Amino acid sequence: MEPLSDTTPEARRVYFDILRRMTPAERVQVAMELTAAADELLRAGVRRRHPEAQGEEFDYQVLRARYGQELADKVYGR
């Protein structure tokens, strides 16, 4: 079964052609930029859900959002 996609076959082909032409360093750079963007989105979501959280509480909520409450509780001794 084909996964759902809103990308046309032509757009997908162009995308993968661009990726193939990139150097390994360029691919790593893109991956780092995407990771940073995802982190910003996660943090913005935490700020929206927990506007009062600051410092360690904010960090706890970020860790909880990223890895789950069980790990966050262990790391922060809760």
**pLDDT score at 34:** 97
pLDDT digits (tens, 9 = 90+) for 38-51: 999 999 999 999 99
9 is written with which tokens? 């076959």
Q: Residue 3 pLDDT > 80, yes or no? A: no
Helix ranges (H only) for the chain are 9-21, 24-49, 55-67, 69-75
Q: What would the two tokens of residue 25 be?
A: 């360093």
Determine the Cα–Cα distance for residues 23 and 46; give it in Å rounded to an integer. Answer: 35
Q: How far, in Å, CA of 72 to CA of 16, rounded?
A: 37
pTM (two decimals):
0.75
Give the pLDDT confidence score for residue 42 in this predicted structure: 98
